[in-house]
Chains A and B, each alone.
Chain A
Amino acid sequence: EDQVTQSPEALRLQEGESSSLNCSYTVSGLRGLFWYRQDPGKGPEFLFTLYSAGEEKEKERLKATLTKKESFLHITAPKPEDSATYLCAVLMTGTASKLTFGTGTRLQVTL
C-alpha cells in the first residue's frame, strides 16, 4: 500500500537550534515530492518540489533533500516565525496529478 509517513509528529526547538524533519514514503513510482508549510487557520503554502534522488532545494533557512526512500527538511538556525506545520506530499506514477499527503510535523520554535 502506498504510504507517506512524517516524523516526528511534533518538534519543539529553541531559536538557533537546527534540526531535520523526515518524510518517508513507500510508493510504487515517485514522480515528485512536495513540501508545504501550513500556519494555523491558513491553507498550505508551497515550499519545494523534488523530482529525483539526490536533488536538493534551498530557501532561506530551509533545505529539502530527497533519497529513494525519504526526504528531509533541514531547518538551520530556526526563528520563531518558522513555527508552523510542515507537510510533505508525493505524486505517484499513474495518478494523474493527485497528491498523497502525510499528516505533518508541528514545529514550534521558542526564544
Chain B
Amino acid sequence: NAGVTQTPKFQVLKTGQSMTLQCAQDMNHNSMYWYRQDPGMGLRLIYYSASEGTTDKGEVPNGYNVSRLNKREFSLRLESAAPSQTSVYFCASSGSSWGERLYNEQFFGPGTRLTVL
C-alpha cells in the first residue's frame, strides 16, 4: 500500500496563477484533510471531508477550494495564488473502523512545497 500520495512535490507559481494539488489514499479511509504548515504556526487545517460527498471549512479556508472526487481522492485548488500562500501543504486521511470503534489517527502524505512569487 502506498498510503497517502501527493502531487506535485514542489511547485513555484507567480502571483495570480492557479493550480490544483492532488491527494489520493489507498487505505479505504472515510475522512480526508488538507493542512498547511508554516514556521512557528504548526499545522493548520484548511478544509476537510468527513466522508465522500461532503466538505467543510477548517481554520484557514480563505483563498482555497476543495473537491472530494471520490472516496480515494481529495484535491485542493488555489484559484489566484498569493505570496501569503507560500507554505508546505499536507494531505491526510483517517477513519478506519474495526467493529464499533472508529480510529481517528490521521495519516499524512509527503507534502507539497509551494512557493508563490
Contact = CB atoms under 8 A, between A and B. Distances in A.
Contacts of B56: 96
A49 interface: yes
Interface stretch (B12-20, B42-50, B63-71, B78-86): B42-50
B58 A98 contact: yes
B42 A97 contact: no
A32 B104 contact: yes
Contacts of B109: 43
Most buried by B among A31, A49, A87, A101: A101
Given A87-B43, A97-B31, A43 B105 contact: no
A59 interface: no
A25 interface: no
Chief secondary structure at chain A's binding surface = strand
B74 interface: no
Contact of A43 (B31, B50, B90): B90
Contacts, number: 58
Interface size class of A (residues with CB under 8 A): 20 to 34
Given A43-B90, A97-B31, A98-B48, A87 B42 contact: yes
Given A97-B94, A98-B58, A46 B111 contact: no
A12 to B, nearest CB: 19
A36, A44, A45, A91: which has the most chain B beta carbons within 10 Å? A44
